[in-house]
Amino acid sequence: MGRIAYIKWEPSNSVHVEILDEQHRKLFDIVNDLIDEIEMGSDRLLPVIHDLIDFLVIHFRQEQMVMTESGYPDIMKHIKEHQQFAEKAKEFFQEYKSGDVDMEYKWITYLKAWVYDHTTKMDRDYGEYLLNRAGDVHQA
């Protein structure tokens, strides 16, 4: 099995809210840590995945709060994508707990792609919106 590539957060991915950028960077770090754990054949994957899911719940809530406060028009579409991910993550988690050893590769592949695509596309859309709101720089 080849080395799984890391994902890298770039300043161009900023959503113009410092706390959310910080959380996105942390998210990228956790994904990369998970890649390391999997490559090492670690047996402590479950607690790391659990922490990741807990962190994401907090992060999604915070993002949704910023979008609500700023009147972001595409918020429902965005929330739906968060919910779909949460459902998928729960499924993976259950299957992984049931002992399917192939799950970790399927999971990290999905997780990595989702985190990267979501933060660099959908999240940047609300970032653009916040930036374009005339003279009103949002602070979370």
The residues binding Fe ion (CB under 5 A) are 63, 123
C-alpha to C-alpha distance for 24 and 16, rounded to whole angstroms: 12
Q: Which helix (H) or strand (E) holds 68?
A: helix 45-70
CB of 123 to Fe ion, least distance (A): 5
Residue partners of 60: CB distance under 8 A and separation at least 6:
82, 86
Measured from the CB atom, the residue of 50 and 77 that comes closer to Fe ion is 77
**Closest CB to Fe ion belongs to which residue?**
123
Query: Is 40 buried (19+), middle (13-18) or exposed (0-12) by CB count in 10 A?
Result: exposed
Measured from the CB atom, the residue of 21 and 63 that comes closer to Fe ion is 63
Measured from the CB atom, the residue of 85 and 93 that comes closer to Fe ion is 85
- Identify the CA nearest to 130 among candidates 82, 63, 60: 63
CB of 82 to Fe ion, least distance (A): 6
Measured from the CB atom, the residue of 40 and 65 that comes closer to Fe ion is 65
CB of 11 to Fe ion, least distance (A): 18
Locus of tokens 């933060």: 119
CB of 81 to Fe ion, least distance (A): 7
